[in-house]
Every structure is written in structure tokens, then in C-alpha cells.
């Protein structure tokens, strides 16, 4: 592989948390745990919440449970997928991550289900 990929890391964020901010923060930490291995493999990791949460804050929303979140969270991931070269789907129930996988497959974007599946970028 001679070009680094922008890889969307998809997995549970709000799913199964009942809106508990501490549980959502822990889920975000789990997503972020995959960022370094993706980067170390020569790619650029991306997590939709890294973009969506600041957008929500700047719109005056009080977090991912705000009614405005429906207009921001999933649409952000869909827009990011127009720029991503692959998706890393982490384990766990997640409607949003499943939607990311479906969009990726529709667009012919590779979907990986483990870090080991991601090809390493090797500098020429």
C-alpha cells in the first residue's frame, strides 16, 4: 500500500448508555484506543464524534442527547464517509456504526473488522 488512508473508526458511542455521559465518554475512549494502532500502521484515524461533538456545541446544543443531535451525529459520519478510504468497525451494538458500514459498502469503501486486517502503509 503506497497511500495512507483516512480510516473512520466506527463503534458504539451512545448505544447502550441510556444517555449517561460517563458511559458515552468511556465508549469514546474505546473508539480512541484504536486511533494509535491505525496511525502506527501509517494511516490517519478519524472518529465521527471528534467532528460532531464540537459542531453540536457550536450550535448551542447541550450534548448528544439534545434534539439537535439527530441533525448532526449521523449526518456527520455520512459526510465524513465521502472523504474516508476505509472503515474500521469495532465490536458492539451500534445503529450508527452499522449505518456507517452500510454506507461504506454502498460506496465501495473497504470495511475492516479488526486492526490486523488493515494493510500497513509503507513509505516508498
Query: For each of the chain's 124 residues, which pLDDT tens digit applies?
Result: 568 999 999 999 999 999 899 999 999 999 999 999 999 999 999 999 999 999 999 999 988 889 999 999 999 999 999 999 999 999 999 999 999 999 999 999 999 999 999 999 877 5
Q: How much is the pTM?
A: 0.93
Q: Give residues with Cβ within 8 angstroms of 112, minimum separation 6.
A: 7, 86, 87, 88, 89, 118
Distance in angstroms (rounded) separating the CA atoms of residues 26 and 21: 9
Q: Which of 12, 94, 10 is nearest to 48 (CA)?
A: 10
Q: What is the pLDDT of residue 63?
A: 84
Amino acid at each position: 500500500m503506497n497511500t495512507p488512508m483516512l480510516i473512520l473508526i466506527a463503534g458504539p458511542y451512545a448505544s447502550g448508555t441510556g444517555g449517561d455521559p460517563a458511559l458515552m465518554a468511556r465508549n469514546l475512549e474505546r473508539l480512541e484506543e484504536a486511533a494509535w494502532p491505525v496511525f502506527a500502521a501509517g494511516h490517519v484515524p478519524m472518529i465521527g464524534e471528534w467532528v460532531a461533538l464540537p459542531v453540536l456545541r457550536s450550535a448551542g446544543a447541550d450534548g448528544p442527547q439534545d434534539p439537535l443531535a439527530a441533525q448532526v451525529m449521523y449526518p456527520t459520519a455520512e459526510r465524513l464517509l465521502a472523504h474516508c478510504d476505509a472503515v474500521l468497525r469495532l465490536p458492539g451494538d451500534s445503529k450508527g456504526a452499522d449505518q456507517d458500514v452500510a454506507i461504506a459498502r454502498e460506496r465501495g469503501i473497504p470495511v475492516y473488522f479488526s486492526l490486523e486486517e488493515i494493510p500497513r502503509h509503507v513509505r516508498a
